[in-house]
Amino acid sequence: MKLWDKGTAAADWVTHFTVGEDWRWDTLLLPYDVEGTRAHAWALTQIGVLTGDELGQIESALDAVRDQALAGDLYVTVEDEDAHTAIERELTARLGEVGQKIHAGRSRNDQVLVALRLWLRDALAAVAAEALAAAEALTDIAERHDDLLMPGYTHLQRAMPTTVGLWAAAYAELLADDLDRLAETRDRADVSPWGSAAGYGVPRLDLPREAVAERLGFRGLQRHVPAVQLSRGKLEADVVHSLVQLGATANRLASDLVLFASAEFGFVKLPLEYTTGSSIMPQKRNPDVLELARATYHRLTAELHLLLSLPANLPSGYHRDLQLTKEATMRAVLTTRDLFTALRHLVPGLTFDAERLRAAVTPELFATDAALALVEQGVPFRQAYRQAAALEHAEPPADALSAYTGVGMPGRAEPEALRRALAEIRARVDGESS
C-alpha cells in the first residue's frame, strides 16, 4: 500500500504518470533515507512516541535494510513510488505495529529532502575529488611545460606567444575557483529540513529539530518551516549552477584539445585508449571523449534551466511540480562526476609535439614585443604600434620568455601556488566527506 492510500487505489496510468522515473532515483537515495529514518526514530523516542526497546528494534531493522540496499538486494519499485514507502514496508514486515509508528510527525516532503541533502553531501564530495584530480593533472603539465612556447589566439587568429604550461595553469586555476564555489554552495544546501513536514510543521509533537539536525551532521537548520518548500529548486539550482561552472571550464578545455589534436594543428596527441575508431574509415581515431565532455556542459545547463524555471510562479507551499527538482539535481551531479572522471583519466596522457609547436610560433606573434621595445626607447605607444605594424616581419627576441616579468605570464606559471590552492580545497572536501 502507498503511504497516502486511504482505500481507493489510483488507476495504473496515474501511478505511471505521477511516479515517472522517481523510483529509480529513490533507489540511489535508499541508504540516505534509512539514516534520516534512524534519526527520526531517535527523535520519536525523545518525545515518547517510541520506547527505547522499540527504537532498538527499529535501528536493527534499519541496519538490515541499509545493508540490503548497499548490496543491491533492495530497491524501490514503481508500486512503492518512493524510498519512503519501501523503507516503511520493510519495517512493517519485520516489526509489525512498531514499523507502522515510524511515520508519525513526518511527511514525504521533508523526508525526501533530508535524504537528498545527505546524498548531496557525499555526491558533491565525489564530484570535487574527480575535478581536483583533473586540476592536479593540469598543474603537472604546467610544471613540465612552462617553457614550451605555443601560439596564443584571439578570434582563432595567431595573436601572441604563450606556453603550454601557462595554458594548463589557467585551466587549473579556473577549476580551483569552480571548486571553491561548489564548496560554498554545498554549504548553503547543507541545512536540515527535518521536522518541517509538509511545510507547516507538526502539531502536538515537540520535535527536537535542532538536535536532529546536529545528529545528522547538517551545518544548520531551516528554521521557519514554510521556507523548506519555498527553497525547493532554489537550493538545488545553487548547487547545479556551481556544477555548470565546472562544466563550462571543462567545455573550453575540451574544445581546445579537440582543436589542438586535429591534423591541422597537431599540437597535442591524445592517449589512444581514450579515443575511438570510425566504423567505415580504417585510419580514423576520434576524440569522442572530449567531444562528449564539451557537450556535457549543455546537458548541465538544461538541468539548471528546469530548476530555475519550474518553481517560478508557484504559490507558496508544496506542489507536485517540485518532484522534478530531485531528478534534475541528481542527474546533474552524476553527470558532472562522470565528466571529470573522464578528464582526470585523459589529461595525464596528453603529449605535446614540441616541433609542431615551435613551427607555429611564427614571427608575427612578436609584433607586440617589437612595439613595446620601442616604448622602452621612449617612443609613444601609438607611434610604436604603427611602426611595428609596418614591419614585414617582427624580429623574435633571442629569449622570448625573458621579456615577461609579471606573475602568471608566459614562462611564469606558478604550479606551487596552484598546488597549495588545490590542497586547501582537498582538505576541505576530505573533511566534509569524512
The backbone torsions φ and ψ at residue 150, rounded to the nearest 5 degrees and listed phi first, read -150, 160
**Distance separating alpha carbons of residues 88 and 96, to the nearest angstrom:** 10
In whole angstroms, how far apart are CA 187 and each of 195, 236, 245, 300, 335?
20, 12, 17, 20, 21
**Distance separating alpha carbons of residues 239 and 183, to the nearest angstrom:** 9
Cell of 207: 520535535
CA angle 105, 108, 113 (to 5 degrees): 105
Beta bridge partners of 191: 220
Q: What are the helix and strand counts (H, E) for the chain?
A: 16, 8
**Distance separating alpha carbons of residues 194 and 105, to the nearest angstrom:** 10
Q: What residues are labeled active site?
A: 155, 278
Give the single-character DSSP code of 7. S
Cα 160 to the center of its chain, rounded Å: 34
How many other C-beta atoms are found inside a 10 Å radius of the C-beta of residue 63? 12
How many other C-beta atoms are found inside a 10 Å radius of the C-beta of residue 60? 12
274, 345 contact by CB (below 8 A): yes
Cell of 258: 579537440
**Distance separating alpha carbons of residues 390 and 411, to the nearest angstrom:** 28
Rg, Å, the chain Cα set? 28
How many other C-beta atoms are found inside a 10 Å radius of the C-beta of residue 430? 12
**Distance separating alpha carbons of residues 272 and 63, to the nearest angstrom:** 45
Give the pairing type, strands 220-221 and 191-192. parallel
